[in-house]
Amino acid sequence: MQFLKQIDAWDEIMTQAKFTKSIVVANEDRKVEYALEFGDQIRLFGSSGYIVPRRILHNILVSRIEKRNIVMKKRVLSYIPGDRYVTVKCASGDLITCDILVGADGVYSAVRQTLYHELEAKGLLPPKDSEEVILSTVSLVGQTIPLDPEKFPIIKDEHCHFMRIIGDNKPYSWTYFTTKSGSINWTVTQYLSTEQQDDNRVFANTTFDFDQAMDMAYEVMNFPIITGGPGEPTMFDLLKKTTVRMKKVVLEEKLFKTWHHGRVVLLGNACHKMNPSGGSGATNAIHDAITLANYIVSLPHWSEQRDIEHRFKAYQDERMPWIKESYENGKVFKGMVEKSFKATMIRLCSKAVSGVVARNVMMKMGANRPQAAFLKYVPDTGTVPAAPQPSYAFAKEMLEAWALNDPLVDSTVVWAKAENVKNAKNDEKAPASIELVAQRPMDKELIKMARASSAHADIVKASAVMSALSAAKSAALAAAPKSALETFQDTPSKVKKPLDNVN
**Is residue 83 scored above 80 in pLDDT?**
yes
**Is residue 124 scored above 70 in pLDDT?**
yes
Whether the ω angle into residue 431 lies within 30 degrees of 0, i.e. cis, is no
| AA letter at 476 | A
Q: Which residues, in sequence order, are bridge partners of residue 210?
A: none
Host H or E run for residue 191: strand 184-191
Burial of 441 (C-beta count, 10 Å sphere; 0-12/13-18/19+): exposed
149 three-class SS: coil
**Is residue 471 scored above 70 in pLDDT?**
no
**What does pLDDT average to over the chain?**
78
The pLDDT of residue 89: 96
Q: Which residues, in sequence order, are bridge partners of residue 189?
A: 139, 173
pLDDT tens for residues 316-344? 999 999 999 888 776 665 555 555 545 55
pLDDT tens for residues 252-271? 889 999 999 999 999 999 99
In angstroms, the CA 276 to CA 134 distance is: 13
pLDDT tens for residues 89-100? 999 999 999 999
Q: How confident is the model at residue 191 (pLDDT cuts 50, 70, 90)?
A: confident
Q: Which of 309-313, 325-329, 458-462, 494-498 has the lowest mean pLDDT?
A: 494-498
The count of other CB atoms within 10 Å of the CB of residue 123 is: 6
**Is residue 404 scored above 90 in pLDDT?**
no
The CA-based angle 282-287-288, given to 5 degrees, is: 95
Q: Over pLDDT 90: what percentage of the chain?
A: 45
In angstroms, the CA 112 to CA 125 distance is: 12
Q: How confident is the model at residue 418 (pLDDT cuts 50, 70, 90)?
A: low
> Which of 250, 247, 270, 275 is closest to 260 using CA atoms?
270
> Which of 473, 371, 311, 333 is closest to 4 using CA atoms?
371
Burial of 308 (C-beta count, 10 Å sphere; 0-12/13-18/19+): buried
The pLDDT of residue 197: 62
Q: Which of 34-48, 277-291, 315-329, 411-425 has the lowest mean pLDDT?
A: 411-425
**Is residue 232 scored above 80 in pLDDT?**
yes
| C-alpha pair distances (Å), 310 with each of 85, 111, 244, 262, 296 | 17, 20, 46, 10, 11
Q: How confident is the model at residue 402 (pLDDT cuts 50, 70, 90)?
A: confident
Host H or E run for residue 420: helix 411-420
Q: How confident is the model at residue 275 (pLDDT cuts 50, 70, 90)?
A: confident
E-strand stretches of 230-331: 247-255, 260-261, 264-266, 272-273
The pLDDT of residue 436: 32
Cα dihedral sign, 377-382-387-388: positive
The count of other CB atoms within 10 Å of the CB of residue 12 is: 15
Host H or E run for residue 43: helix 41-45
Q: Which of 84-88, 135-139, 276-280 has the lowest mean pLDDT?
A: 276-280
CA torsion 234→236→240→244, rounded to 10°?
100
> Which of 92, 98, 95, 81 is closest to 500 using CA atoms?
95
Per residue, the 3-state secondary structure of 436-495, as one string, reads CCCCCCCCHHHHHHCCCCHHHHHHHHHHHHHHHHHHHHHHHHHHCCCCHHHHHHCCCCCE
**Is residue 76 scored above 60 in pLDDT?**
yes
Contacts of the segment 461-469: beta carbons below 8 A, 24+ positions apart: 462/304, 462/306, 462/307, 462/310, 463/307, 463/410, 463/411, 463/412, 463/415, 464/410, 464/412, 466/300, 466/302, 466/303, 466/304, 466/307, 467/302, 467/408, 469/304, 469/306
pLDDT tens for residues 19-75? 988 889 899 999 998 887 777 777 888 888 888 888 899 999 999 998 888 888 899
Host H or E run for residue 36: strand 32-37
Host H or E run for residue 13: helix 10-14
| C-alpha pair distances (Å), 298 with each of 3, 411, 423, 435 | 18, 9, 21, 19
424 three-class SS: coil
| C-alpha pair distances (Å), 274 with each of 166, 194, 282, 383 | 20, 18, 9, 29
Q: How confident is the model at residue 132 (pLDDT cuts 50, 70, 90)?
A: confident
Q: For 475-490, give one letter per residue: b (16+ CB within 10 A) or e.
A: eeeeeeeeeebeebbe
184 three-class SS: strand
In angstroms, the CA 83 to CA 96 distance is: 16
The pLDDT of residue 54: 85
CA torsion 370→295→56→108, rounded to 10°?
-120
The pLDDT of residue 359: 64
Mean pLDDT of 294-308: 90
- Residue 339, CB half-sphere, CA atoms under 13 Å: how many? 18
Taking phi first (over 0 means left), then psi (-120 to 50 degrees means alpha), and beta for anything else, what does residue 498 get? Answer: beta
**Is residue 455 scored above 90 in pLDDT?**
no
Q: How confident is the model at residue 210 (pLDDT cuts 50, 70, 90)?
A: confident
- If one compares 470 and 383, the residue with the highest pLDDT of the two is 383
Q: Please check whether residue 223 is in contact with residue 167, taking contact to mean a CB–CB distance below 8 angstroms.
A: yes
